[in-house]
Structure 1
Amino acid sequence: MASVQDLKRRIRSVTNTRKITRALELVAAAKLRRAQARIEAMRPYADTMGDLIAGVGRAASSVRSLPLLQQHETIETVLLVPLTGDRGLAGAFNGQVIRRAFALERQLQSEGMTVRWLPVGKKGRSTLAFRGREIVDSYVGFSDGPAYANAQAVAHRAAQLYTDGEVDRVVLVYNTFVSALTQQVTDRDILPISSDVLETDDEERAADVMRGDFIFEPEPEEILARLLPVYLETEIYRAMLESAASFQGAQMTAMRNASKNAGELIDRVTLQMNRARQAEITQEILEVVAGAEALA
């Protein structure tokens, strides 16, 4: 049985750990509110961008020759882009993205395709490097608070690989933010850009964006060629914001559970310490009584 001093040291250690987990929980909660605000601010821009592309697409006479819209004749190589965190202590946040990405890899390889990787986040990069996967590039250091420039860098690299013919399809894997308790793993194709972006679910709103008799300068096809890379950047940036919010929510929940477990552990160890102390006192009393009887 552990001594009273050992149990006291363990209580101090767990108490210090609980202070850290509580601090991390509060920090994650504050960052989560900011991340949610950034997502809300992003939505109007993304919706307007989609409407603008749909309007210009209707005015263009031919869009199939645009590189980001053009599908390759055969799909032999697929680029997977997993969005993970730079840090852990967030429950299953990183693990579920990596598991989904590996499941996609197995599925694609079973269909005879080659898989290459473009990880975003230290956790994804380290896991892929440890498992010997082919990493064409990686981006780290901004998963907590991504900037639009980070999305531009990832989008530019993915588009370059696609237009150069090094990959035939690009798939993004990330956590979609549902709530602080729930993050949904999502995988979606980002290249080639689906021709569905040239249409919109809300035709009336799209008509409002492009209302009037426009004379395009330059031609609609050239405008669309410039807008599509921006659309790709916007979609990746939106996914990064979703992933950042999901990370903060997952970390807040994980640290809250850790603090709760630490409190329960402190209660159990305190009870053990009290019992050990009582046993020591009882033993000392018995020794005193035995000594007194021996002297009598």
Structure 2
Amino acid sequence: MALKDVKSRIASVKNIQKITRAMEMVAAARLRRAEQRIESLRPYAGAVRRMTRQAAEAAGNVPNFPILNEHESEDKIGILLVTGDRGLAGAFNSQIVRAGLRAGIEYEGAGKTTVWYASGRRGVSSLAFRGREAKGAYTGFTDRPSYANAREIAADLVAAYVDGEVDRVEIVYNRYVSALTQEVTRETLLPLQHATIMGDDGADDSLGGRAAEEDAASDHADGKHALVEYEPDPEVILERLIPAYVEISIFRALLESTASEHGARMTAMRNASENAGDIIKDLTLEFNRERQAAITQEIMEVVAGAESLV
């Protein structure tokens, strides 16, 4: 390779390295804000979960609400994929798509129908590329999702379940653990009888329910549980809490996914910057070798010319 070409490649890689470093810094700043939003939401989401479960227990038999009516069969499965609008985040988007498609193939192999929903342009485009139409496509907000976005998605999913268009709703998203670690999580959202809301208190761990753990530990230590009187009746309260639970569950998944995306992008851009640095070192070494060879060749030509004159 000519010296000019090597020098040009070094300049190109340096420009790319500047871009990846800038993207890493931007992702790190956005990650800090996303972490703050998650930390603020998790206790609230855990409280909504506990209140809904306690109201359901106080109501005794499950009230006859459309959203609480469990379908006789589960032939139509709705799967919501929570991805990002942009790429350059390593395997963040692809692992969600793979996990969702794997679940869909399992259901289809059992003779069930899969109905797809996707949040984020990457999820929508990936489904379209694979010939799977997304009944619900929600894009343009994954960098900073709002509660209104979660309410919109929840309204469509609840309406599909109540109208019998789907018999079960699952959500697949990246749960944020740290900037280096994101866990693919698959949860059942509807019917509520099979959702994590009906699990034990340990399920609150996934929501970061530190307050719940402290309350539970205090109750067990005292050997007593709080008595709650409901006004109005638990059925009325439950009817109001259920939509809030579905919305807050989706909102939590959106925030978890956003933080995971920023963390994955920050890590990916850091790795890209480091790889660019390695490439620059190799190209610089090659450039120096080529230049040394050219200088040596010129010296040999001058010496040979001088000897021919003797």
Instruction: Flag whether TM exceeds 0.5 (same fold).
Output: yes
CA 1:199–1:182 in 2, change beyond 3 Å: closer, same or farther?
Answer: closer
Contact 1:155 / 1:233 at 8 angstroms: preserved in 2? yes
Q: 2:29 is matched by which residue type in structure 1?
A: A
1:215 alignment partner in structure 2: 231
Give, in whole Å, the separation in 2 of the partners of 1:34 and 1:131.
34
Tell me if 1:247 matches 2:247: no
Residue 224 of structure 1 deviates from its aligned partner by 1.4
Contact 1:53 / 1:198 at 8 angstroms: preserved in 2? no
Map 1:267-282 → 2, pairs under 5 A? 267-282=281-296
Q: CA RMSD in A?
A: 2.0
2:122 alignment partner in structure 1: 123
Gaps in structure 1 of 5+ consecutive residues = none
Q: 2:37 is matched by which residue type in structure 1?
A: R
Residue 222 of structure 1 deviates from its aligned partner by 2.9
Gaps in structure 2 of 5+ consecutive residues = 202-215
Between 1:248-257 and 1:49-58, the stretch displaced more is: 49-58
Between 1:68-77 and 1:231-240, the stretch displaced more is: 68-77
Give, in whole Å, the separation in 2 of the partners of 1:45 and 1:36.
15
C-alpha distance after superposition, 1:88-115 (max 9, x if no partner): 1111111111110111011101110001
Residue 77 of structure 1 deviates from its aligned partner by 0.7
Between 1:144-153 and 1:286-295, the stretch displaced more is: 286-295
Map 1:197-208 → 2, pairs under 5 A? 197=197, 201=201, 202=216, 204=219, 208=226
Please give the TM-score of this superposition, normalised by the length of structure 2. Answer: 0.88
C-alpha distance after superposition, 1:238-259 (max 9, x if no partner): 1111111111111111111111
Q: How many residues align?
A: 291
Q: 1:94 is matched by which residue type in structure 2?
A: N
2:209 alignment partner in structure 1: none
Task: Say which SS state the counterpart of residue 37 (structure 2) adopts.
Answer: helix
Residue 57 of structure 1 deviates from its aligned partner by 2.3
Residue 291 of structure 1 deviates from its aligned partner by 1.9
Contact 1:49 / 1:231 at 8 angstroms: preserved in 2? yes
Map 1:274-293 → 2, pairs under 5 A? 274-293=288-307
Please give the TM-score of this superposition, normalised by the length of structure 1. Answer: 0.92
Match of 1:259 among 273, 298, 302: 273
Percentage identity across aligned positions? Answer: 49
1:162 alignment partner in structure 2: 161
Q: 1:90 is matched by which residue type in structure 2?
A: A
Contact 2:192 / 2:198 at 8 angstroms: preserved in 1? no
Give, in whole Å, the separation in 2 of the partners of 1:174 and 1:183.
9
Give, in whole Å, the separation in 2 of the partners of 1:164 and 1:92.
36
